[in-house]
Structure 1
Amino acid sequence: MEMPVRLTSPAIIIHGGAGAWRNADVNAVKRAIEEALSRGLEASRTGSSVEMVVEAVASMEDSGVFDAGVGSVLDLSGRVTMDAAVMRGSDLRAGAVAAVTYAKNPVRLAKVVLERTPHVMIVGGWADELARKVGLEPFPGPSSRSVERWRQLKESGGDGDELAKRWIELARQLGLDTVGAAALDSQGTLAAAVSTGGVIMKFPGRVGDSPVVGAGLYADKLSAFVATGVGEYIISLGLSLRASIVYSMTRDIVSAVESQVRLITEAFGAGTAGLIGIDYQGNAWGSANTNAMPWGVADRGRSLVLGMP
């Protein structure tokens, strides 16, 4: 059995998505992971684990390297719709948004839902209106890379239902996916956050696992997990909550992560998912059944980038 990465609080673990990661700009990915770790740790100087995960995820949204924020992929109709969530382990409070278009950083909007509303999830135009009211920075539009990838797929043959049938296979093949973070602050509080533009060529209105508590993320007083991969599969299994349950029984973060990667592989095959987690003692781990899942960990003493393509 692998040994976990042992960190001292405040500590953070992040990922840039499980997938094939073919033809990736490895240096750009590594820089983006390092910057997100740095921003997450910097937030710990004045904020809690919630601020740590939000700042780390916002950094990855801003990078344009990942399928989140300004790097989000386009749906079947050529639009960008994004999902995000934040969860605080101390009181099991969560905030999530789905199918949003307005905010440049959907993870910041999810934090607004967590801290300023009594709800867990707000979707679509209602969430966009909330983003406007609280003054969040607007989305600048899809990147030229995302538009070009969409155009090439659209012109590759077929339309409508035929193209839609291909999206899960595309999800397996493409290397960009959900970004996420889990953190432990100096007070011993855990949190998790996740953000995504979804799967390229998805049906308009499709929502994946990212904003679903227990699927895309979960945090309690003992551990925090974030999943990445084919959202429909992750939702069906409740992957992050399952990992939390395993951890509560074993107190082994490696076993909690690896057992759920094995479970989704047995259920749906390889190339489908990855998972990261951190516990209340600062033990962290990440694993995936895909070709690669860039992930990294950091505390005040060191920073490591792992799982590169």
Structure 2
Amino acid sequence: MSRHVIVVHGGAGGFSKRDEKYLEILSEATAKGFNIIERGGSALDAVVEAVVVLENSGKFNAGLGSCLTLDGIVEMDAGVMDGSTGRVGCVGAVRCVKNPIILARKVMELTDHILLVGEGAEMLAKCLGLNIDPSLLLTEEKLSRLSDIKEKIRKQGSLRLKKLDKIREVCPDLYGTVGAVALDRAGNLATATSTGGYWLKLRGRVGDTPIIGAGIYADKTSAASATGMGEVIMKTLLCFRVCQFIEWGVSPQKAAEAGISIATKRYGSGNAGVIVVDRNGDIGIAFNTRGMAIAYMYEGMDRPIAEIRIREDI
């Protein structure tokens, strides 16, 4: 017998127990998504709603809180997938949208396509009334932080094109991608993920979030959402691997751990996290970073459980 459930993440990275300020927002997102399922709504509606809450909070690296590129602009990616139908919609490198996850869903529902990027995605957003002035995504706090990160890296050398290792040293909360997976009362699964990428990325860079099998994947067996260094997640096809393990009979928790183990063995630690739920309502959460912010709510719970999970071995 399956039980309906939603799991939400706020990214994997340099989290510590002191970052509990994020938990209230994660709880709100989880509760809103779960309430949709409780009222008979779809898993797809639930995960999109949860991600919208996180995008709107400005506290995570998605939507209003998205980080800046090397030249000081915001470019966001998002993806959503409905496991019951196999439908999927994604956007990449969009600059003029408050909620990229809503635009990704519109790509899925209103077009013949799976992925729209840059100007083309922004044209669709404008046609649908989803566009905003890109300057609204810029804040003095973000610009100040961009300047600080650049200065710290300059002190270690020069701002070369290949600089990710240095960014990780001076910016431990590098990954703040948000995502959600859910199972509804009808047994349908869905996933949604949204991100601003990472600080000082090059303009035009698209990460794993809108790539099927990497940052998102859902079918009739399970649904997964990833966070971390997009290049690593794409090279390991993290979400697809985890879901494939579940299809082969592995439990969600063991499948999530196996997927992260592959990423770690190939590319080291500190680069990935994943959440997954199967058609029975069992969940899996694994990461190879210092910490990961997660929340979940099952059928029968009065309120979500939200926590910063810490790995003492990293």
TM-score by length of structure 1 reads 0.92
Residues 70 and 143 of structure 1 are in contact (CA less than 8 Å); yes or no, is this contact kept in structure 2? no
TM alignment of 1:1-309, pairs within 5 A:
8-9=3-4, 11-21=5-15, 26-44=19-37, 45=39, 47-136=41-130, 138=132, 140-156=136-152, 158=154, 162-171=159-168, 173-175=171-173, 176-302=175-301, 303-308=304-309
Alignment partners' CA distance in 2, 1:29 and 1:295:
10
Which runs of at least 4 in structure 1 moved beyond 6 Å after TM superposition? Answer: none
For 1:134, the aligned partner's letter is L
Residues 33 and 296 of structure 1 are in contact (CA less than 8 Å); yes or no, is this contact kept in structure 2? yes
Residues 15 and 308 of structure 2 are in contact (CA less than 8 Å); yes or no, is this contact kept in structure 1? no
Alignment partners' CA distance in 2, 1:216 and 1:43:
24
Q: Number of matched residues?
A: 302
Cα 1:168–1:106 change in 2 (3 A) is farther
**Which deviates more from structure 2 when the two are superposed, residues 100-109 or residues 291-300?**
291-300
Residues 163 and 201 of structure 1 are in contact (CA less than 8 Å); yes or no, is this contact kept in structure 2? no
Alignment partners' CA distance in 1, 2:187 and 2:65:
33
Residues 190 and 224 of structure 1 are in contact (CA less than 8 Å); yes or no, is this contact kept in structure 2? yes
Alignment partners' CA distance in 1, 2:2 and 2:163:
41
Q: CA deviation at 1:180?
A: 0.5
Residues 191 and 224 of structure 1 are in contact (CA less than 8 Å); yes or no, is this contact kept in structure 2? yes
Residues 7 and 298 of structure 1 are in contact (CA less than 8 Å); yes or no, is this contact kept in structure 2? no
Q: Residue 293 of structure 1: SS of its match in structure 2?
A: strand
Q: CA deviation at 1:91?
A: 1.8
Residues 93 and 205 of structure 2 are in contact (CA less than 8 Å); yes or no, is this contact kept in structure 1? yes
Alignment partners' CA distance in 2, 1:77 and 1:49:
38
- Cα deviation, 1:8-38, whole Å, max 9, x if unaligned, reads 21x100111110126x862321111101101
- Cα deviation, 1:153-183, whole Å, max 9, x if unaligned, reads 2233549973442224424752242111001
Alignment partners' CA distance in 2, 1:221 and 1:267:
29
What percent identity do the matched residue pairs reach? 38
Q: Residue 81 of structure 2: SS of its match in structure 1?
A: strand
- Cα deviation, 1:131-154, whole Å, max 9, x if unaligned, reads 111112525222443222111122
Cα 1:213–1:219 change in 2 (3 A) is same
Q: Residue 135 of structure 1: SS of its match in structure 2?
A: coil
Q: CA deviation at 1:221?
A: 0.1
Alignment partners' CA distance in 1, 2:20 and 2:264:
29
- Cα deviation, 1:219-251, whole Å, max 9, x if unaligned, reads 000000111111001101111111111111124
- Cα deviation, 1:251-304, whole Å, max 9, x if unaligned, reads 411111000111101011111101100000100121111110011111342221
Cα 1:169–1:280 change in 2 (3 A) is farther
Match of 1:3 in 2: none
- Cα deviation, 1:23-68, whole Å, max 9, x if unaligned, reads x862321111101101111222253111100000111111111100
Cα 1:168–1:122 change in 2 (3 A) is farther
**Which deviates more from structure 2 when the two are superposed, residues 172-181 or residues 110-119?**
172-181
Alignment partners' CA distance in 2, 1:87 and 1:235:
17
**Which deviates more from structure 2 when the two are superposed, residues 176-185 or residues 208-217?**
176-185
For 2:33, the aligned partner's letter is G
TM-score by length of structure 2 reads 0.90
Structure 1 portions without partners, runs of 5+? 1-5
Q: Residue 256 of structure 1: SS of its match in structure 2?
A: helix
Residues 105 and 137 of structure 1 are in contact (CA less than 8 Å); yes or no, is this contact kept in structure 2? no
Q: CA deviation at 1:308?
A: 4.0
Q: CA deviation at 1:103?
A: 1.1
Cα 1:75–1:66 change in 2 (3 A) is same
- Cα deviation, 1:183-215, whole Å, max 9, x if unaligned, reads 111110000000000010001100100000000
Alignment partners' CA distance in 1, 2:75 and 2:40:
32
Cα 1:169–1:226 change in 2 (3 A) is farther
**Which deviates more from structure 2 when the two are superposed, residues 226-235 or residues 13-22?**
13-22
Alignment partners' CA distance in 2, 1:106 and 1:46:
25
Q: Residue 301 of structure 1: SS of its match in structure 2?
A: coil
